[in-house]
Structure 1
Amino acid sequence: MRSQTAAEDAEHDPLDLFEDALLSIFDERMPAAGDPGQRITFAHPALPTPQSTISYHIPDVHAKSTHLFAHHQWDSGVLLARMIASSSSAAQPAADEDHDLVYPAADVRDETVVELGAGTGLPGLVSGLMGAKMVLITDYDDPPLIDTIKMNAKAVCAGRTGVRGQGLTWGIAGHVERALSEAGPSRFSRVLAADTLWVSSAHGVLLETMKDLLGRSAEARILMLAGFHTGRPAIARFFQLAAGEIDLGDGHDSRGNRIGDGALVPDWEDQNYGGIWERRIDGQTRPWQGVRPKAWSRQHAEPAARAEKNEHTVEDEEMGDIGERAKWI
């Protein structure tokens, strides 16, 4: 046995191979846009900017940080930004497809907002433009990545002093405390996350970070979107973890708390889908098709076939055709 040299690591980095595979597999479309360092645009009729458009940069991250996949603009981030813009406007959405994106919890006006795993920070930037009281855009504490977020915040939200970028590595107590100091004693009333679930091993620290940051009021919400390009099972596993149905084998979570204590629940006030739904890039929507934690099904009756599916493990779930999955969030 021997250790690889740095040159060998760079040449055979499995993360690079994974990204190359993503680019080649999605022959119909890639669920992301842009290249490292590229300046791209986002437009929405509700944006209070010239031509209702903003331009911002994709992080030109170091090679060692490409495993974060912050060097693209992923579809989930764009959809979350559209939801926020559509829901936070006093005017009626101009297009039918934008009307479908109006969701009360996505109205960020006068809210304190934190975005996790932000990458470009697009949802946070749009939150700042649409009237959020304070926005903290965060990602892994990598200087080039955070510098780009800060640059985007300064350029897009010029004159809005409440929009800032900051390094926040999930599970690091000092980072969480630093973020909380920005929000004040009430914590954050909105926690945003787009495409942060593809690494299952990080689910625990992500969930703990979300719980630490989320305000304790009944109106506080987490808005989380995730593309299916890496499969539905990883998302379903996070749901089970958030519902308190997954433990470390002794009935406790990674902090020693009893499973179920402080568990998150879906937005029961959502009359259409009970807080969890799927959306295709062409605007089709449908109820969540995957494993739904039993604790999340008590207030919303489900078809017998769906209830029976809950008896299966997440790992057993059929992931489906990868080309079609890439079109769903």
Structure 2
Amino acid sequence: MLPSLIRLVPPVSSIPEPEDLFASSLGSIFTDDLRNQHGDDPNTLIVYKSSVFGEMELSVADPSGENERKKFAHYLWNAGVLMGEMVGGRGTGGVEDGESRDSGVWMREGEEDAKSGWWTGDEEEKLWSVRGEIVLELGAGVGLASIVSALAGADEVVISDYPAPELLANITRNVENNVPESLRSCLSVQGHEWGTLDSTFSKANAGRFTRILAADCLWMPHEHHNLARSMLHFLSPSTDARVFVIAGFHTGRAKLAPFFEEVVGEEGLEIEDIYEMDADGKRRRWQAERDGGTEDHGERKKWLVVSRLRRQHS
């Protein structure tokens, strides 16, 4: 289950209140109430446990204003956790056979691979691989998927989010804390506002990226077109280039559906594959509407939409 891959570590000096203990146990007490967001407190570490790369300690930003808080980049959402799992794969990532990492993050030779459940088989796992790719993450939040991409053998990774200094500084901290120095030269952190295609960064990187990642970026319908324009602008013209999009339904299916049903096609992209997956890896077909629009919130938040996009074929 996705939430089981996450644990929160409060500051050493903090004394947990009864409310904190109760909140941390909600998932065990109310098994139908899935925890789908992690973080918020800038003094609390989020620990993500990858079966391939070990534990990663991630901090969240402390937004300085209400406008920045509305971006919700100070959380790690389950869509971001699943994106990390999908691009991370099951193998030894960027390490060649027999190699190991001094920090212990890489899987040791002969270790058992505990991961299962996200892919239908080896072929699908390969479709989500970022090894040897040039990767851009849009709306990166804490930067988990990008960090995993670097560890998994991507040739280059650009981690982008809204150009607020505190958001970008926090991503940079997370990179420094979780990526060995020998790999950091392939990583950079950039501010990018979706749909802004005339900036120096946008013009210099048009059509460069063979993999574009977007996790939980669809909850603002008014930004759908801008997001899709950025995706198409940065996406390589190569026929193998893909955009990976994963998003949770916690803000409402109606907010997400127009992106796939309308915007993708209007902005020059097309859907290669799309389905829904719950926090345990169970799948079902994508539907723009369920239960006549009265989908139960508690059930809905367990599910994510998972998709791969590409340029429209001419």
> Could you tell me the TM-score, scaled by structure 1's length?
0.70
d(CA) in 1 for partners of 2:260, 2:119: 27
The amino acid of 2:62's aligned partner reads D
Partner of 1:136: 158
Cα deviation for residue 45 of structure 1 reads: 2.0
Cα deviation for residue 237 of structure 1 reads: 0.2
Cα deviation for residue 180 of structure 1 reads: 5.6
Q: Report if aligned partners of 1:74, 1:195 keep a CA contact under 8 Å in 2.
A: yes
d(CA) in 2 for partners of 1:53, 1:180: 36
Partner of 1:188: 209
Q: Which of 42, 60, 63 pairs up with 2:62?
A: 60
Structure 1 157/220 Cα, relative in aligned 2: closer, same or farther at 3 Å?
same
d(CA) in 2 for partners of 1:265, 1:87: 28
Q: Which of 20, 32, 37 pairs up with 1:32?
A: 37
Q: Which of 239, 246, 268 pairs up with 1:218?
A: 239
Cα deviation for residue 129 of structure 1 reads: 0.8
Cα deviation for residue 322 of structure 1 reads: 0.6
What SS class does the counterpart of residue 68 from structure 1 fall into?
coil
The reply to whether residue 236 of structure 1 matches residue 257 of structure 2 is yes
Superposition misfits of 4+ residues, deviation over 6 angstroms = none
Partner of 1:286: 284
Partner of 1:45: 51
What SS class does the counterpart of residue 234 from structure 1 fall into?
helix
Partner of 1:94: 114
Cα deviation for residue 153 of structure 1 reads: 1.5
Q: Which has the higher helix share?
A: 1
Q: Which has the higher strand share?
A: 2
Structure 1 149/32 Cα, relative in aligned 2: closer, same or farther at 3 Å?
same
- Deviations, residues 224-244 of structure 1 (Å, cap 9, x unaligned): 001011122222100123343
Q: Which of 251, 260, 271 pairs up with 1:266?
A: 271
d(CA) in 1 for partners of 2:164, 2:260: 28
Partner of 1:312: none
Q: Report if aligned partners of 1:39, 1:56 keep a CA contact under 8 Å in 2.
A: yes
> Could you tell me the TM-score, scaled by structure 2's length?
0.73
RMSD in angstroms over aligned alpha carbons? 2.6
Q: Report if aligned partners of 1:188, 1:220 keep a CA contact under 8 Å in 2.
A: yes
Structure 1 243/114 Cα, relative in aligned 2: closer, same or farther at 3 Å?
closer
The amino acid of 2:222's aligned partner reads S
What SS class does the counterpart of residue 58 from structure 1 fall into?
coil
d(CA) in 2 for partners of 1:180, 1:241: 26
Structure 1 133/126 Cα, relative in aligned 2: closer, same or farther at 3 Å?
same
d(CA) in 2 for partners of 1:154, 1:180: 27
d(CA) in 2 for partners of 1:237, 1:74: 21
Correspondence list, 1:1-329, <5 A:
28-37=33-42, 38-47=44-53, 52-64=54-66, 65-86=68-89, 89=92, 93-100=113-120, 103-159=125-181, 160=183, 161-175=185-199, 177-179=200-202, 181=204, 183=205, 187-244=208-265, 260=266, 263-267=268-272, 275-290=273-288, 318-329=293-304
The amino acid of 1:216's aligned partner reads P
Q: Report if aligned partners of 1:119, 1:149 keep a CA contact under 8 Å in 2.
A: yes
Cα deviation for residue 216 of structure 1 reads: 0.6
d(CA) in 2 for partners of 1:192, 1:172: 17
Which one scores higher on RCO, CA 8 angstroms, separation ≥ 6?
2
Q: Percent identity?
A: 33
Listed as ranges, the gaps of 5+ residues in structure 1 are 1-22, 245-259, 268-274, 292-308, 310-315
What SS class does the counterpart of residue 114 from structure 1 fall into?
strand
